[in-house]
Every structure is written in structure tokens, then in C-alpha cells.
């Protein structure tokens, strides 16, 4: 009986402790005081170090679970086709007859099956019947369609566009059935309930639509692209992975080769793309040894058997981290098949942009590009903090993007021709990484990739040159 009373007494004390703790932590002043003490006592580096150690422990624990527990127990796979696409399962299959027609172009393109890609999209050309004769003024309006949940990735860059170039009006467009996000003041945001209202708005108010959804493009956005009288363009570092025939022009870097079957489109070649507004980090150069030699920032659908086979040898001598993989249990299974050393492999979920920059700067020597499906956005994020992308130049735009950016930012020594060269590249970089990171960031910030003003002036001029403009019309009394 005494034991029961003792347990009851301890339970009451614990309940009181929880109640007091809730009252204290709910107080705004108390939180401010705690943060002040942390800053005053210099605990921030210690807390960050503990947080990083906790993440490493979590990654290792997760990896060990993936290696030992059957997949069916870990997670019952969602059979929706978009989940099938994102998991990358199609990379290891030959027969795609069970896949919806609208998803096939993305799959063929990811696997670099050019003939199949061409035939799977060519028939859609007949669907786009709008004859477009919109005449442009000196001032043009651009609708930036980015409907999926990570559109916050672009919002600060669009805000910088708005502030810099007054001749280009930028409007962020979304559909109402996507997750609500905190809106940034200064950006015009238009939310549509249906395709009809979106198409009407674009026909009457918009000169150009930029499709920034890429392989995750929702069906509603696709219907707008099909039926609008506004000119449709691709997002600058992504030439569409499907339904390219609804585009009126393709924006590409000057150094990228265009596949022959899309040469019938207007090609707008720019010296640099995007003009991302990524401010420098207030973070000291990490002179201590970093945790990871290579970071792969990619949706899992880009990681196919060619990549796994080509880089498995590197995993025995160098440490890798995959960021943004949504189905790691499936990827781990493939890593084992292709002989990767799983002790040198870690995983982390997708991060907000600023958090990603901090993580890369502190923990990673280099970003490793996927040769089959090159990454423009990951390369630019790395350059903004001096982290190089080690990449290979492929035959077409889809596997040239990173090499094009690295070349135009004076970093050609990180472009390899055979994977055997990668070990030499990473060792040379590690030997002088602190100085090289400063040089890489400085050269990148002089380019248009991280300078919105350079990019916008170039884009504005090229759009007016490529499409009808009132400037060339005769002046009437």
C-alpha cells in the first residue's frame, strides 16, 4: 500500500512540474530571457553541435532500421502514380505500360530515352490550337506559376525581381487546393479556384507565363498552359520534362546543347539564368574537417541504376549524404544491390533554403551532380556559399545544366569526363577548401546567376526581341 501512495505522490509532483513548465514556456518574456541567457553564455555553438550530433545519430539509426527491417513493415507504399514517380521505381523497370500517358514523358526523359520521349509528347502538339498574336509593350507582365508546396523556395527571388526591374511586373500564381503558405509582403499573389478563372485572368492580364512546376506540374496548371493566349516559357534552369509542345519559347543557357527535336521552338539564349537572390551567410569558414565529402540534393526519381553503378566505388572511401529523398527505404535496397558501403551513407529530409545553406557550409565539401538528370537549382545554392558541384557534361540540356553553370562561373576544374577523375578533384578541393570556397562564392556573385539585375535586363531585352513588340510599330498621329 505504501508503494501505491509513493507512486501517487510522485505522479502529483510530476503533474505540477508539467503545469509550471507549460506556464513558463507560454510566456513570451520568459522565452526572450532564455534566448538572452543562451546568447550571453555562448551556448549557441554548443547547442548547434548537439543538434547536428542528434541528426547524425537519427540518420544512422534510421539507416540501420532500413537495412534490417522488411520494407513492408516500415511503410505501406502509396500506389498513387505521383508517389510511384517520385520514388524512382520506374528507373529499374522496362515495361511502363501500366503508367498513365501524361506521366510517360517524364519517365522517358529521366531515363534519357529520347526517341520514346519524342513520340510520347509529339501527339500532344495537336491539342494546343491557340493562335497567339499578343503584341508587347515596353512594360511586360509575367505570371510565375509555382503551385506546389515548395514555392517559398522562389519567393524571395521574385521579390528581388519586383524591386529591381520596373519594366517587368511579376505575379505569383497558385491554385487554391495547394497548401497555404505565409505570404511575403511586396509580391503580387493571385490564387485561382479553377482552370477557367486562371485561363481568363492570364488571357486578359498576362503577357508571359513561366512554368516553374517542372516534373511535379499539377494537371490544372497544364490545362492553363494548353489554353492560354499568353506566351508560355519554361523555368530558366529547367527545360520542361513533359508537354514541351505547349511552350512558345525555351529559355536556355548559351552553352547548353538543344536536342534536335525541340529546335522548332523559339530559343532564347541567356548568358546566365535565374538571378537568384541568395544573400551571403554570416558564417565563418569551417576550417575543421567536414562530415561529408559528397552531397546529393535531388528528388529520388533522378537517381537511377547508372548513377548507383558509377559511384558505388566512391562510397567505400568517401562519405555521402542524400538530401530530399522521400522514400529512403527503397533507395537503400538499391544501394545494397549495387555494392555501396552503407556505413558511409546518410540521409536527411528536404530543408528550407536558409537551413540548407547552413548545413552545406558547415558539413559538406561538394555537391555531386547526377549525370543523367543535372541539377541547376542545387548547383546555384552551392555556389552561393562557395560549395562546388562536381559534374559531368552530357550531350543535351537535361544533363548539361550543372556543367554549364560551373563553366560560366569560372569553375571548369570541377567538371569531369570520367568518374575516375572525381577522387582527384575532391582531394584537391579538400586540401585547400577554405580558400577555394571564398573564390567560388566571389566568382559566382559576379555572374548573373546570383545577380538579379544582370539577369533581368538580359531577359527583358531578349523577350522583346523574340516576340512582337510595339516598339517596332510605326508611330501614328
Q: Is 147 helix (H, G, I), strand (E, B) or coil?
A: coil
Give pLDDT tens digits for 5-55: 655 666 677 666 666 566 555 555 566 666 666 666 777 677 767 776 776
pLDDT of res. 311: 93
Q: Which stretch, 146-155, 258-267, 270-279, has highest mean pLDDT?
A: 270-279
- Whether the CB-CB separation of 379 and 406 falls below 8 Å is answered with yes
Extract the C-alpha cell encoding 173: 500564381
Extract the C-alpha cell encoding 152: 517559398
Closest CA to 369 of 280, 283, 296: 296
Tally Cβ neighbours within 10 Å of residue 137: 12
Domain boundaries, the chain: 81-123, 128-275+455-470, 292-449
What's the mean pLDDT in 372-384? 87
pLDDT of res. 324: 85
For residues 399 and 228, which has the higher predicted lDDT (pLDDT)?
A: 228
For residues 57 and 358, which has the higher predicted lDDT (pLDDT)?
A: 358
CATH architecture of the domain with range 128-275+455-470: 3-Layer(aba) Sandwich (3.40)
pLDDT at 409 over 50: yes
Q: Catalogue the E-assigned strands of 342-388.
A: 345-348, 364-368
pLDDT of res. 285: 62
Question: How confident is residue 256, by pLDDT bands cut at 50, 70 and 90?
Answer: confident
Spatial separation of the C-alpha atoms in residues 44 and 31, rounded to whole Å: 15
pLDDT of res. 79: 45
Query: Residue 268's Cα: distance from chain center in Å?
Result: 22
Tell me the fold of 292-449: Rossmann fold (3.40.50)
pLDDT of res. 75: 42
Q: Which stretch, 78-87, 206-215, 448-457, has highest mean pLDDT?
A: 448-457
Spatial separation of the C-alpha atoms in residues 103 and 306, rounded to whole Å: 21
Cβ-based burial of 445 (10 A; exposed 0-12, middle 13-18, buried ≥19): middle
Name 418's Cβ contacts closer than 8 Å, sequence gap at least 6.
none
Q: Is 10 helix (H, G, I), strand (E, B) or coil?
A: helix
Give pLDDT tens digits for 118-173: 777 665 544 455 567 778 888 899 998 876 545 556 777 788 888 887 889 999 88
Question: How confident is residue 413, by pLDDT bands cut at 50, 70 and 90?
Answer: very high
What is the share, in percent, of the chain residues with pLDDT greater than 90?
A: 22
Fold agreement between 128-275+455-470 and 292-449: yes
Extract the C-alpha cell encoding 141: 507582365
Q: Is the pTM of this model over 0.85?
A: no
Amino acid at each position: 500500500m505504501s508503494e501505491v501512495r509513493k507512486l501517487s505522490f510522485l505522479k502529483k509532483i510530476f503533474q505540477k512540474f508539467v503545469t509550471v513548465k507549460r506556464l513558463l514556456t507560454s510566456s513570451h518574456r520568459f522565452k526572450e530571457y532564455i534566448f538572452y541567457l543562451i546568447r550571453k553564455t555562448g551556448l549557441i555553438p554548443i547547442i548547434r553541435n548537439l543538434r547536428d550530433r542528434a541528426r547524425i545519430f537519427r540518420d544512422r539509426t534510421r539507416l540501420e532500421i532500413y537495412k534490417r527491417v522488411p520494407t513492408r513493415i516500415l511503410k505501406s507504399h502509396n500506389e498513387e502514380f505521383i508517389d510511384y514517380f517520385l520514388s524512382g521505381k520506374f528507373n529499374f523497370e522496362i515495361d511502363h505500360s501500366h503508367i498513365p500517358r501524361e506521366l510517360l514523358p517524364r519517365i522517358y526523359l529521366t531515363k534519357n530515352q529520347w526517341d520514346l520521349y519524342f513520340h510520347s509528347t509529339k501527339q500532344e502538339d495537336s491539342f494546343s490550337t491557340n493562335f497567339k498574336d499578343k503584341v508587347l509593350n515596353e512594360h511586360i507582365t509575367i505570371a510565375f506559376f509555382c503551385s506546389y508546396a515548395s514555392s517559398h523556395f522562389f519567393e524571395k527571388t521574385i521579390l528581388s525581381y519586383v524591386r529591381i526591374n520596373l519594366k517587368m511586373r511579376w505575379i505569383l500564381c497558385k491554385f487554391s487546393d495547394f497548401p497555404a503558405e505565409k505570404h511575403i509582403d511586396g509580391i503580387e499573389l493571385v490564387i485561382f479556384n479553377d482552370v477557367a478563372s486562371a485561363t481568363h485572368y492570364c488571357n486578359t492580364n498576362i503577357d508571359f507565363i513561366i512554368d516553374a512546376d517542372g516534373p511535379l506540374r499539377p494537371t490544372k496548371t497544364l490545362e492553363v498552359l494548353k489554353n492560354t493566349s499568353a506566351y508560355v516559357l519554361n523555368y530558366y534552369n529547367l527545360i520542361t520534362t513533359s508537354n514541351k509542345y505547349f511552350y512558345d519559347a525555351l529559355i536556355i543557357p548559351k552553352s547548353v546543347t538543344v536536342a534536335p527535336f525541340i529546335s522548332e521552338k523559339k530559343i532564347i539564349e541567356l548568358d546566365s539564368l535565374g538571378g537568384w537572390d541568395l544573400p551571403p551567410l554570416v558564417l565563418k569558414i569551417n576550417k575543421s574537417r567536414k562530415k561529408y565529402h559528397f552531397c546529393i540534393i535531388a528528388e529520388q526519381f533522378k537517381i537511377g541504376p547508372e548513377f548507383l553503378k558509377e559511384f558505388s566505388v566512391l562510397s567505400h572511401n568517401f562519405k555521402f549524404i542524400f538530401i530530399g529523398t522521400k522514400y529512403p527505404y527503397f533507395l537503400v535496397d538499391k544501394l545494397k544491390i549495387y555494392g555501396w558501403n552503407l556505413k558511409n551513407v546518410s540521409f536527411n529530409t528536404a530543408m528550407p533554403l536558409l537551413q540548407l545553406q547552413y548545413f552545406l557550409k558547415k558539413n559538406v565539401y561538394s555537391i555531386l551532380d547526377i549525370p543523367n538528370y543535372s541539377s541547376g537549382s542545387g548547383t546555384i545554392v552551392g555556389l552561393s556559399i562557395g560549395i562546388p558541384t562536381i559534374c559531368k557534361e552530357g550531350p543535351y540540356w537535361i544533363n548539361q545544366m550543372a556543367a554549364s553553370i560551373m563553366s560560366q562561373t569560372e569553375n571548369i576544374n570541377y567538371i569531369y569526363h570520367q568518374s575516375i577523375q572525381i577522387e582527384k578533384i575532391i582531394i584537391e578541393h579538400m586540401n585547400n577548401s577554405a580558400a577555394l570556397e571564398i573564390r567560388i562564392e566571389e566568382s559566382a556573385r559576379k555572374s548573373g546567376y546570383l545577380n538579379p539585375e544582370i539577369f533581368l535586363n538580359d531577359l527583358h531585352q531578349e523577350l522583346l526581341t523574340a516576340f512582337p513588340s510595339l516598339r517596332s510599330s510605326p508611330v501614328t498621329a
